[in-house]
């Protein structure tokens, strides 16, 4: 099985973001944080995020470099052709190969270690056609000290990509991983 190729950049604690959805979420996180280092999960109000819920991912930080998908928005499940809700990150990414698992867990670990928002953007190639993406990862802490949850918003060219995904599903394809 061929593994996806990816080229991306990361920026810790971005001041501003051009992508409107990411800018909204960063402002939301900052407002919920107030004077604290990080907001708590209990500060999240789904009704306040309604416009973006389909593109939001919530990831539980289990410790020891382990993570679990708590919630994955419907647009994200349509993008990846799978719903990893309830699965550990390593399990969910295993079909894409060891390198993909390592990239994802390394990115999440950087959010945990830095305890600040991280923007990740670039291009991933699942099918021979590069797909640009832009994402924001936000740390939340229930005890005010350690990151217990990461809120992620993932953006991409919805019209083009989701049309391609629908065609793939209609053709019986159930994975982005090239066989």
CATH of the domain at 117: 3.30.450.20
What pLDDT does 97 receive?
Answer: 82
| Segments forming the whole domain that contains residue 77 | 10-170
User: Does any domain span residue 117?
Assistant: yes
With respect to residue 2, please indicate whether it lies within any of the assigned structural domains: no
Largest CA distance in the chain: 51
Does residue 70 fall inside a structural domain?
yes
Tokens 């061929």 -> residue: 2
Is 177 domain-assigned?
no
Mean pLDDT score of the chain: 86
pLDDT bin (cut points 50, 70, 90) of residue 152 is very high
Q: How many CB atoms lie within 10 A of CB 167?
A: 10
Q: Which residue has the higher pLDDT, 42 or 179?
A: 42
Asked, for residue 4, whether it belongs to a domain, the answer is no
| SS3 assignment for 10-24 | EEECCCCCCCHHHHH
178 within domain boundaries: no
| Structural domains in the chain (count) | 1
- Kindly state whether residue 22 falls inside one of the protein's structural domains: yes
Does residue 177 come out as left (phi exceeding 0), alpha (psi in the -120 to 50 range) or beta? beta
Cβ pair 39, 140 in contact under 8 A: yes
Please, which pLDDT band fits residue 123 given cuts at 50, 70 and 90? confident
Per-residue pLDDT for 145 more than 70?
Answer: yes
Span of 18-22, 44-48, 80-84, 90-94 with lowest mean pLDDT: 80-84
What the block records as the tokens of 128 is 């021979």
Global pTM value: 0.84
Spatial separation of the C-alpha atoms in residues 46 and 176, rounded to whole Å: 29
Residue 19 lies in a domain: yes
């Amino acid at each position: 099985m061929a593994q996806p190729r990816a080229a991306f950049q990361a920026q810790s604690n971005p001041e501003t973001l051009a992508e409107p959805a990411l800018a909204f979420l960063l402002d939301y996180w900052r407002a919920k944080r107030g004077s604290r280092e990080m907001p708590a999960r209990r500060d999240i109000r789904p009704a306040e995020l309604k416009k973006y819920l389909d593109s939001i991912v919530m990831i539980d930080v289990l410790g020891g470099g382990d993570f679990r998908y708590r919630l994955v928005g419907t647009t994200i499940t349509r993008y990846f052709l799978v719903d990893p809700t309830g699965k550990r990150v390593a399990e969910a990414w295993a079909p894409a190969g060891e390198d993909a698992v390592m990239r994802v867990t390394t990115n999440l670990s950087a959010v945990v270690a830095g305890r600040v928002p991280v923007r990740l953007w670039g291009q991933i190639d699942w099918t021979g056609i590069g797909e640009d993406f832009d994402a924001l990862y936000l740390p939340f802490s229930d005890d005010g000290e350690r990151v217990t949850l990461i809120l992620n918003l993932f953006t991409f060219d919805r019209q083009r990509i989701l049309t391609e995904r629908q065609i793939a599903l209609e053709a019986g394809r159930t994975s982005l991983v090239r066989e």
